A = this chain, B = another copy of it.
Amino acid sequence: MKARRDVYQAIADPTRRAIIGMLAEQPQNVNAIAEQFDVTRQAISLHVKILSDCGLIFIRREGRDHICEARLDSLNEVSVWVEQYKKHWESKLDSLETYLEQLKKERYGK
Contacts and interface: CB of A to CB of B under 8 A. Distances in A.
What number of copies of this chain does the assembly contain? 2
A31 interface: yes
A27 B109 contact: yes
Interface string A24-65: 101111011000000000000000000000000000101001
A93 B12 CA distance: 28
A76 B82 CA distance: 8
A72 B60 contact: no
B28 A81 contact: no
Contacts of A2: none
Interface of A: 4, 8-9, 11-14, 17, 20, 24, 26-29, 31-32, 60, 62, 65, 67, 69-76, 78-79, 81-83, 85-86, 88-89, 92, 100, 103, 108-110
